[in-house]
Structures are given as structure tokens and as C-alpha cells.
Amino acid sequence: MSRQSHLATELADARRRTDELFSLLVPDALYDRPIPERHRIVFYLGHLEAFDWNQICRRRLEMPSFHPEFDKLFELGIDPPPGRLPEDQPSDWPSVAEVQRYNHRVREAIDRALEQGAVPDDAWQMIVEHRLMHAETFTYMLHNLPHERKIEPRGVAARVVGYPISPAMLEVPAGTATLGLKRGNGFGWDNEFDAHSVDVPAFAIGNYKVTNREYLDFVKAGADPPHFWIRRGDKWFQRTMFGQTPLPLTWPVYVTQQQAARYAAWAGKALPTEAQFHRAADQSPDAGGNYDFRTWNPVPVNAYAPGQMRGNGWEWTSTVFEPFPGFEPFSFYPGYSANFFDGDHYVLKGASARTAACFLRPSFRNWFRPDYPYVYSGFRCVEN
């Protein structure tokens, strides 16, 4: 298969992923806003194609726009600070039919550009990965929609092998962690560069992510419950993608960074740094995991070998999202990372069940606000 054919296949697969998500909605749900801090769903229907158009056709090929209003309307998402939620109304947005016509024309133009081969491979990789990022973050929005606003697909249950759960800590000897990606070693986002080494003293880290069972003890001691939990009388339930289930005690708990840090302090431990996560991941088994859209929900933490650090939920760190030495913003997307170097976002590592396999590269860095509750993210504790 030629490189061009490979890129076309990757793009088609990514489109299929996001198209499938929109097909899970009842028609009028496109104007819902399931996460108060984000745009209405209709924005994302147009955003994916607008991003592709703006990056490939407008900026790289300097093609004249057929709909400049939509190019701008759907260009950028939002991440407002607390207390500044969006106030737009459904009537402020175009009709679904208009957006779909725009999307159809954009895809035709993008496909022609790919066939002509006039755009570097890294630009195509960027739009594929951007779309796959949204295949996960849009799932967070769908998770917050009421069940009756979604159409449940036929799913395949995850195969769970099952290992004994042990609260043991993995001893990690002192050594060097290599963070980031060396320039010229493949595609990466601007915050992944440049590769550099960090000395890390010896520490110990949990064999597994903290479970719902462990976090329940913290809640019983007075802590706030996670966003994904529901209480009915003296019983706890977890909101799954398409319903609710009695709290699965062996699932990893999904919490904010603030909640994770408070739990770690309560347990007399700490959250790992980004460098500590890398050191531990270097010693973890590479025996599969719950990622790359394999399930809609977590699986028990003991579904894979102890120490497995890939999949089944991102993992919060104590590291503030900051540039690596030698950071250079993308000239074609200068705000991708730099807009979030504000001291109010934290690094996450690993992957969730809805994370595409391409993001399992060790250099990839995810980030969110410490109080953002919608991420599929758990944590481990460390002893320094």
C-alpha cells in the first residue's frame, strides 16, 4: 500500500469513528449542551470538517472559501474558566442540513487534495489525530446526555482475564526518564518536543489504579463522590455510557485531579509526576489493555497484569502542563498547546477505553483543568 493510500485509509477510519458517534443521537439532541463548559453538540458536527478545511485547504493550499462564515464559526472550541459558561441558544446555530451540506463539500475538497499529494504527510497525520481526539472527548459529552437522548448500539463485551487484586506497590529504582519525542522521529504535537532526560529518585507506585472500592472508603470519610457516581439511599451506582449499574467496586474510579490529589494525601501518599509515570511505564508489562475503542466503559483493574499502565482510564499526575525545553509552537496551529500553558491545567498520561491507539506513544501528553469532572481518568498513588 502506498503512503497516500495509507493516509486515505487512516482518514476514512477516523471519519467512521466520529460519524458513528453522531449516529448515536436522537435527531434533536444535536442542539443539546450536555457539558455546560462546552459548545452545543452541533458545533462539533461542523468543527471536525472546518478544522480539516482550515488546516489543509485554506492555510496549506490557499484555496478560496465557499463558506467563510462556517470556517470561522466552527473553527475553535472553548475551555472557559469557572464562572464564565457559554450562554448561546439553539436558535443561534445553523440548521443541521446546512452543516451537513458544508461537511459534504469539505470532505470532497479534502479528498481531492489528498489525491493530488501536494500537502506534507504531517499535515494529514495532524487532521487524523485531531479527529481521533474528538472521538474521545465527544464521547465525554455523550456520556452526560440522558439515556433517552441516545441510541444504544450493539456492543461486544470486553474479554476479562482476571488477575488477583493486590494493593501492593511496585518498587521503581532510581533512574532516568526520557520525556518527549526527538525531532525527526515521527509525528508529534508541539508540546511533545523536544526529547530530554530527567533524573528520578527511587519511588513506589500502585500496581493498579485506585478502584471504586478504595475511593468509596474516602467518600464514607466525608469526601465528595465522583461525577460518575449516583447515590440512592444507602446504595451507590455508576453512570455508564448507556445506563446505570450498581457501583462496580473493581473498576478504576474516575475523578478530577483535585479529587485524586486529596485522596492521595488522605492515604498518606502522593500523585506521581509525569517523569515518575514514565519510569513506572518503562517497567510495566506490554500485554494489551482496554484502549482503542474496545469498550464503552471501564473493565476491572485486574483484567490485565499488575502494573499495566496502558488503557482503562487516563492517569492524573501532579505535573502542571508546561512546555518542554526547546518548545516551539506549530506555525500553522500556534495555540494548540501554548494557550493552555497557564498554570491551570495538569498532565494526564496513559489512555482510556476510548483513546485511539496512535496516542499510546510514550511522548503523548493529555491535559485538563484540575476540577474538570468529565474525563475518563483515574490515578495511582506513589510513595516517595
Question: What digits encode the pLDDT tens for the residues 324-372?
Answer: 999 999 998 999 999 999 999 999 999 999 999 999 999 999 999 999 9
Question: Would the pLDDT of 89 be above 50?
Answer: yes
Q: What does the mean pLDDT of the chain come to?
A: 93
Helix (H) or strand (E) holding 197: strand 196-200
Burial class (CB in 10 A: 0-12, 13-18, 19+), 308: buried
Q: In angstroms, rounded to a whole number, what is the distance separating the alpha carbons of residues 308 and 298?
A: 14
pLDDT at 55 over 60: yes
The grid cell for 32 is: 443539546
Mean pLDDT of 379-384: 97
Q: What does the pLDDT average to over 88-93?
A: 95
Residues 17 and 141 occupy one common structural domain: yes
pLDDT greater at residue 29 or residue 2: 29
pLDDT given for residue 158 in this prediction: 44
Comparing CA positions, the residue from 217, 118, 132, 133 lying closest to residue 167 is: 217
CATH number for the domain harbouring residue 332: 3.90.1580.10
Chain position carrying cell 500500500: 1
Encode 75-109: b = buried (16+ Cβ within 10 Å), e = exposed.
eeeeeeeeeeeeeeeeeebbebeebeebbeebbeb
Domain ends where: 117, 149, 181?
A: 149
**Residue 337 falls inside a structural domain:** yes
Q: How far apart are CA 380 and CA 25, in angstroms?
A: 34
Give the contacts of 338 (CB within 8 A, at least 6 positions apart).
190, 323, 329
Residue 160, domain member (yes or no)? no
Grid coordinates in use for 176?
532516568
Q: What is the pLDDT of residue 81?
A: 76
Amino acid at 243: G
Whether 185 and 108 map to the same domain: the answer is no
Cβ contact 252:312 at 8 Å = yes
Task: Kindly state the average pLDDT of the residues 257-281.
Answer: 98
How much is the pLDDT for 231?
97
Mean pLDDT over residues 186-193, rounded? Answer: 96
User: In which band, very low, low, confident or very high, does the pLDDT at 212 lie, cut at 50, 70 and 90?
Assistant: very high
Residue 98: predicted pLDDT: 98
Between 379 and 305, name the one with better pLDDT.
379
Taking each continuous run of H as one helix and of E as one strand, the counts in the chain are 9, 12
pLDDT value at position 32? 97
* Residue 87 belongs to domain with CATH number: 1.20.120.450
Cis peptide preceding 342, ω within 30 of 0 = no
Count of residues making up the chain = 384
Mean pLDDT of 183-202: 96
Distance between CA atoms of 254 and 212, rounded to whole angstroms? 8
User: Which stretch of 8-17, 203-212, 277-286 has the lowest confidence by average pLDDT?
Assistant: 277-286
User: Hey, what amino acid is at 327?
Assistant: F
Whether 154 is covered by a domain: the verdict is: no
Cβ atoms of residues 139 and 354 within 8 Å:
yes
Q: What is the pLDDT of residue 159?
A: 47
Which pLDDT belongs to residue 168?
Answer: 84
Q: Is residue 1 over pLDDT 80? A: no
**Which structural domain range is residue 266 located in?**
169-383
pLDDT tier, 114 (very low <50, low <70, confident <90, very high otherwise): very high
Residue 285 and residue 212 share a domain: yes
Phi, psi of 350 (to 5 degrees): 100, -130
Q: Total domain count for the chain?
A: 2
Q: What is the pLDDT of residue 164?
A: 65
Are residues 186 and 230 located together in one domain of the fold? Answer: yes
Nearest to 249 by CA among 303, 213, 301, 298: 213
Same domain, yes or no: 249 and 214: yes
Return the SS3 of 11. helix
User: Amino acid identity of 43?
Assistant: F
Instruction: Classify residue 319: in a domain, yes or no.
Output: yes
Reduce the DSSP state of residue 2 to 3 states and report it.
coil
Burial of 36 (0-12, 13-18, 19+ CB in 10 A): exposed
Instruction: Using a pLDDT cut of 70, give the percent of the chain over it.
Output: 97
Q: Is the pTM of this model over 0.85?
A: yes
Cell numbers given for 248? 462496580
- Residue range 272-316, pLDDT digits in tens: 999 999 999 998 877 678 999 999 999 999 888 888 899 999 999
Which residues have a Cβ under 8 Å from the Cβ of 78 and sit 6 or more positions away? 37, 38, 39, 86
Q: Kindly state whether residues 77 and 210 are assigned to the same domain.
A: no
Residue 323 has pLDDT above 50, yes or no: yes
User: Does the pLDDT value for residue 163 go beyond 70?
Assistant: no
Cell readout for 302 is 485486574
For residue 71, the surrounding DSSP H or E stretch is helix 68-73
pLDDT at 221: 98
Residue 299 forms part of a structural domain: yes
Question: Both 266 and 314 in a single domain?
Answer: yes
